[in-house]
């Protein structure tokens, strides 16, 4: 069983910055299958914040597939996401994670999105930090692909 506290900031050119803060609890059902439940708050500059409760299943195999279902009852919105990732060790303290995801947001927003990205991670003194870049696109009319830069901190205890 593990507990983590995460903070994530997306810095998008010409877009409202997003601060994502969450807490989650994970449990390994077996050596290869993990379950998680978490809460995430999305805070946007000059826009309404959102809260989600999420449930996840992950499998420790090739490409580490995972499925996430999250619901935001305030905005009557549900998200389902499938992702795959591959982690590479760069050194004892640094790693590189390559990920791809495909998700769907239903109800009020009603769109499908996909992303591909790379994240450099560092473990120093019990804290994990990361910096990443991802190309994100969705099927909203008038929406272009966006390059999203992110930085964050994850504490596990």
pLDDT band at 99 (very low <50, low <70, confident <90, very high): very high
pLDDT band at 125 (very low <50, low <70, confident <90, very high): confident
Nearest to 86 by CA among 102, 98, 94, 95: 98
Could you give the CA distance from residue 83 to residue 18 in angstroms, rounded to a whole number? 21
Q: Which is more confident, 47 or 88?
A: 88
Could you give the CA distance from residue 107 to residue 109 in angstroms, rounded to a whole number? 6
Asked if residues 12 and 146 have their Cβ atoms less than 8 Å apart, the reply is yes
Q: Which residue has the tokens 């804290």?
A: 127
pLDDT band at 87 (very low <50, low <70, confident <90, very high): very high
Please write the tens of the pLDDT for every residue from 2-57. Answer: 555 566 666 655 665 677 788 888 999 999 999 999 998 888 776 778 899 999 99
Q: Is the pTM of this model over 0.85?
A: no
**What is the domain range of residue 38?**
2-156
Return the pLDDT at 54: 96
The total of structural domains in the chain comes to 1
Could you give the CA distance from residue 84 to residue 58 in angstroms, rounded to a whole number? 10
C-alpha atoms less than 13 angstroms from C-alpha of 105 in its C-beta half-sphere: 14
Asked if residues 7 and 24 have their Cβ atoms less than 8 Å apart, the reply is no
CA dihedral 1, 126, 8, 132 (to 10 degrees): -110
Mean pLDDT value across the chain: 84
C-alpha atoms less than 13 angstroms from C-alpha of 26 in its C-beta half-sphere: 15
- Under DSSP, is residue 57 helix (H, G, I), strand (E, B) or coil? strand
Please write the tens of the pLDDT for every residue from 53-78. Answer: 999 999 999 999 999 999 987 778 89
Mean pLDDT of 105-131: 87
Length, in residues, of the chain: 157
CATH number, domain of 108, equals 2.40.160.40
């Amino acid at each position: 069983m593990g507990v983590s506290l995460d903070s994530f900031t997306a810095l998008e050119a010409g877009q409202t910055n997003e601060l994502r803060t969450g807490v989650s609890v994970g449990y390994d059902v077996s050596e290869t299958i993990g379950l998680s439940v978490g809460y995430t708050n999305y805070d946007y500059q000059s826009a309404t914040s959102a809260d989600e409760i999420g449930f996840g299943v992950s499998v420790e195999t090739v490409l580490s597939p995972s499925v996430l279902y999250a619901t935001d009852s305030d905005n009557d919105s549900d998200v389902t996401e499938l992702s795959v990732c591959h982690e590479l060790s760069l050194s004892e303290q640094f790693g590189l994670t390559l990920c791809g995801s495909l998700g769907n947001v239903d109800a009020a927003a009603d769109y499908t999105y996909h992303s591909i990205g790379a994240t450099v991670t560092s473990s120093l003194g019990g804290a994990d930090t990361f910096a990443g870049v991802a190309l994100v696109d969705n099927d909203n009319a008038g929406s272009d692909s966006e390059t999203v830069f992110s930085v964050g901190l994850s504490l596990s205890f």
